[in-house]
Amino acid sequence: MWRPPERIKWSAEPGRWPTREEAAASRLFRPVDIGPLSLESRSWVPAMVPWRATGDGIVTPEVLGWYERFARGRPGAIVVEATGIRDIPSGPLLRIGDDRFIPGLKTLVETVARASGGHTRLLIQIIDFLAIRRRPRRERFLGEFLRITDDHRARLDAAGWTEQRIRARLAELDDAALAEILSPREMEALRMGYRERVTDVGLPHIRDLPEVLPGLFADAARRAREAGFDGVELHYAHAYTMSQFLSRLNDRDDLYGGSLENRARLPLEVFRRVRETVGEDYAVGCRYLAEDCVDGGNPVEDSARFGVAFAEAGFDFLSLSRGGRFEDAKQPAVGSAAYPYTGPSGYECMPQYVSDARGPFGRNVEPAAAIRAAIRAAGHATPVVVTGGIHGFEQAEGLLRDGKADIVGFARQSLADPDWFIKVRLGRGDEVVVCEYTNYCEALDQKHVPVTCKLWDRKRRDEPGIAKTPDGKRRLTAPLWEPGLDLERALADSGDVRLS
């Protein structure tokens, strides 16, 4: 992963933990409504893909174990990982593109309800993404994949040459000379692997995305409701299709690119179709970027205008992330695909402890606050979720108190310690295992192997019955917290009220 050149090392400092009484009186542990859905607290576990589904995208016991472990900590809400809306092979990514996925997802809903004692609300993030191929070997690309065009012939002055001769000539050129003959997109396909974009309107399936996507998202949302999820989060963030539509880099020349209104058109059309399908009494929100964090991408001003438009349209919540784009991704090794979290924008998305003078904690807070302020100024009360480097109670409570966000997302901190919420609620914050922001977990994510945390995956591995990685080296979920008291009673004594 890219890191800021300053290389300043930071350590997570959670600050003072509240007493049980202070926690009970805090904003963080106060309920909040997201549209028709009530959360018991303003704490949120954002989507994190753990790579535990089957190769066909079906829920496995390991998927259940992952979410069960988060649910035991009783955050206000958990958002299930990015789940594919198309019925196409997507590796071990969870899928919701057909009714056959519903039974597995139903089990997931039941598991979380049981493990959280009915205290945690469960949403699912639904995603569309475009094709991306692995970086090819140079010989294979020039000898086979590259489509030889008249432009190539003209630039090589190769009229009348056979295709084979042209390919042989191209293979002799170094990269600088090749760049004179190939288009920038072809050079990119050689350097990074071929990747589709929403701006490839010459491809019929890309041109027609605005016709196809509302139905695909709406069907997926209907399945989410049938499976029992409390709501859906439309994935409009990072490097994927919907975020590409929103971005200033989207220069499609139809009604879906160029101006800010045009870029918002499809995200709004998708939302409307989802809303029509699931009804007003179902929570529908989205995750999108407070800032694209790449050259020419969306600044916070655009995201604030999108926030107002989304609030106006009736989204029940807006969860803000940042960066995580393909445009500045690192060149992958031959045989691997580009990964959108490897460049500077990837750093903004999941900042790690080696940072710059701003540090890795709360980089998204001020942009989120600006977006929330614009939404409030336009007269909307839509709750805003902010995430990024948040691990301490004072930090979370402070940003709620200062009106910078309405709900606080803890992604890696919940992975490091899924019991953060319950420990803090019980006045036992000093037992929290604080995330070190090493991005060991993110490196596993990048390899598409089961995600675990370095702070616990080698601990108590001889416990009977625990799930481990196939090589037996890592446990798949954090060891259970042994608080030495009756949790249900302790929470009841702390004044917890269960929302029906």
Q: Least Å distance between CB 435 and ligand FMN?
A: 7
Do residues 53 and 26 lie in contact, with contact meaning Cβ atoms separated by under 8 Å? Answer: no
Q: Does 49 bind ligand FMN (CB under 6 A)?
A: yes
Residue type, 204: P
Q: Which entry of ligand SF4, ligand FMN, none binds 476, CB below 5 to 8 A by partner kind? A: none
Q: Does 78 bind ligand FMN (CB under 6 A)?
A: no
Please pick, from the candidates 438, 479, 483, 487, the single residue that binds ligand SF4 as defined by CB under 6 A: 438
Q: Please, which residues bridge with residue 43 across strands?
A: 408
- The alpha carbon torsion through 328, 334, 335, 339 (nearest 10 deg) reads -10
Site string for ligand FMN, 181-220 (x = CB under 6 A): ----------------------------------------
Closest CA to 228 of 405, 94, 107, 357: 107
Residue 231, both tokens? 């709501």
Q: Which entry of ligand FMN, ligand SF4, none binds 252, CB below 5 to 8 A by partner kind? A: none
Cα–Cα distance for residue pair 292/418, rounded to 1 Å: 29
Q: Which is nearer to ligand FMN, 35 or 388 (CB)?
A: 388
Q: Which entry of ligand FMN, ligand SF4, none binds 322, CB below 5 to 8 A by partner kind? A: none
Please pick, from the candidates 78, 123, 192, 237, the single residue that binds ligand FMN as defined by CB under 6 A: 237
Cα–Cα distance for residue pair 105/64, rounded to 1 Å: 9
Site residues for ligand FMN, 295-354, by CB under 6 A, read: 321, 349-350
Closest CA to 239 of 137, 129, 163, 401: 129
Cβ contacts of 102 within 8 Å, gap of 6 or more: 223, 226, 227
Q: Which is nearer to ligand SF4, 190 or 455 (CB)?
A: 455
Per-residue DSSP letter, 332: P
Cα–Cα distance for residue pair 51/39, rounded to 1 Å: 27
Do residues 438 and 353 lie in contact, with contact meaning Cβ atoms separated by under 8 Å? Answer: yes
Per-residue DSSP letter, 468: B
Do residues 238 and 349 lie in contact, with contact meaning Cβ atoms separated by under 8 Å? Answer: yes
Q: Which is nearer to ligand FMN, 382 or 413 (CB)?
A: 413
125 phi/psi in degrees, rounded to 5: -90, 125
How many residues are recorded in the chain? Answer: 500
Segment interacting with ligand FMN, rule: CB under 6 A, options 27-35, 40-48, 162-170, 262-270: 40-48
Q: Least Å distance between CB 432 and ligand SF4?
A: 12
Q: Least Å distance between CB 325 and ligand FMN?
A: 13
Cα–Cα distance for residue pair 307/267, rounded to 1 Å: 12
Residue type, 109: V
Q: Which is nearer to ligand SF4, 107 or 438 (CB)?
A: 438
Q: Which entry of ligand FMN, ligand SF4, none binds 389, CB below 5 to 8 A by partner kind? A: ligand FMN
Residue 305, both tokens? 């205008």
Q: Which entry of ligand SF4, ligand FMN, none binds 453, CB below 5 to 8 A by partner kind? A: ligand SF4
Site residues for ligand SF4, 365-424, by CB under 6 A, read: 412, 415-416
| Largest distance between two CA atoms of the chain | 86
Q: Does 95 bind ligand FMN (CB under 6 A)?
A: no
Residue 154, both tokens? 């003209």
Residue type, 298: N
With CB under 6 A as the rule, give the number of residues binding ligand FMN: 25
Q: Which entry of ligand FMN, ligand SF4, none binds 440, CB below 5 to 8 A by partner kind? A: ligand SF4
Q: Please say whether the dihedral angle defined by the alpha carbons of residues 231, 234, 239 and 241, taken in this order, is positive or negative.
A: positive
Q: Does 432 bind ligand SF4 (CB under 6 A)?
A: no
Q: Least Å distance between CB 43 and ligand FMN?
A: 11
Q: Least Å distance between CB 429 and ligand SF4?
A: 17
Q: Which is nearer to ligand FMN, 142 or 435 (CB)?
A: 435
Site residues for ligand FMN, 458-487, by CB under 6 A, read: none
Q: Does 437 bind ligand SF4 (CB under 6 A)?
A: yes
Q: Which is nearer to ligand SF4, 405 or 415 (CB)?
A: 415
Please pick, from the candidates 270, 308, 375, 411, the single residue that binds ligand FMN as defined by CB under 6 A: 411
Do residues 286 and 241 lie in contact, with contact meaning Cβ atoms separated by under 8 Å? Answer: no
Site residues for ligand SF4, 450-489, by CB under 6 A, read: 453-455
Closest CA to 387 of 1, 103, 47: 47
Q: Does 441 bind ligand FMN (CB under 6 A)?
A: yes
Secondary structure E strands in 277-321? 283-289, 318-321
Q: Does 90 bind ligand FMN (CB under 6 A)?
A: no
Q: Least Å distance between CB 164 and ligand FMN?
A: 45
Q: Which is nearer to ligand FMN, 82 or 181 (CB)?
A: 82
Cβ contacts of 483 within 8 Å, gap of 6 or more: 423, 426, 428, 490
Q: Least Å distance between CB 350 and ligand SF4?
A: 8
Cα–Cα distance for residue pair 186/209, rounded to 1 Å: 23
Per CB under 6 A, residues contacting ligand FMN are 46-49, 81-82, 125, 237, 287, 321, 349-350, 387-390, 409-413, 441-442, 445, 451
Contact footprint for ligand SF4 (CB under 6 A): 412, 415-416, 435-441, 453-455
